[in-house]
Structure 1
Amino acid sequence: MYAVIKTGGKQYRVAPGQKLKIEQIPADIGQEISLDQVLSVGEGEQIKVGTPFVDGAVVKATVLAQGRHPKITVFKMRRRKNYRRTQGHRQNFTEVRIEAISA
């Protein structure tokens, strides 16, 4: 069984037991959260697609960690104008493990 969920402005295809890093959610480590924005649910040949969400479908997940992704460098430059700007950025994430999908 799998589901397509929407969280943090992104969509993820998830299955029970899968670990994944999503946009930061304010939750404690070990806490169980429910993701109710389920776009579709599928099992084998059957698939249920919502408009836009599947009614009554919930994905249960456990928070494993809160962290930050590696640093990326943002570099801007205009040629021949002596203009250079360097900036770094680290995005926050929440690592979750998908426990169950109920449709």
Structure 2
Amino acid sequence: MYAIVDIAGKQFKVTQDQFVYAPLMEGEEGASVEFDNVMLIDNDGKVEVGAPVVKGAKVSGKIIGHVKGDKVIVFKKKRRKGYKVKNGHRQQFTKVLIEKISK
């Protein structure tokens, strides 16, 4: 059984007992969260597609922690001008354990 869920503007294909790195959400570690924007549910080959969401479907999870992603290097240069700028960025994510998919 899997579902496609909208979490903070991004769509994720989730199954039970799976970890998802979603965009940063408010909440403490160990707090439970529910996602109501379920767009599709597949229950052993029986697919139910929402228009735009499946009514009554919920995905519940638990916040494991807040983490940072890999560093992305931003390098800008203009040739023959002596202009070079190097910056780095680490995106913040929330690690969520999907506990239950219910219809």
Q: TM-score, normalised by structure 2?
A: 0.93
Aligned ranges 1:83-102 → 2 under 5 Å:
83-102=83-102
- Residue 70 of structure 1: SS of its match in structure 2? strand
- Asked if 1:40 corresponds to 2:30, the answer is no
State the Cα distance separating 1:71 from its structure 2 match.
1.7
Q: Which residue is equivalent to 1:63?
A: 63
The residue type equivalent to 2:95 in the other structure is: E
User: Over aligned residues, Cα RMSD in angstroms?
Assistant: 1.1
Residues of 2 paired with 1:60 and 1:22: CA distance? 14
Per-residue CA deviation, residues 32-79 of structure 1 (Å, 9 max, x unaligned), is 100111110111221111111111111000011111112211111222
Q: Which residue is equivalent to 1:31?
A: 31
Q: Which residue is equivalent to 1:74?
A: 74
Kindly tell me the number of residue pairs found equivalent between the two proteins: 103
Q: TM-score, normalised by structure 1?
A: 0.93
| Identity level (%) | 36
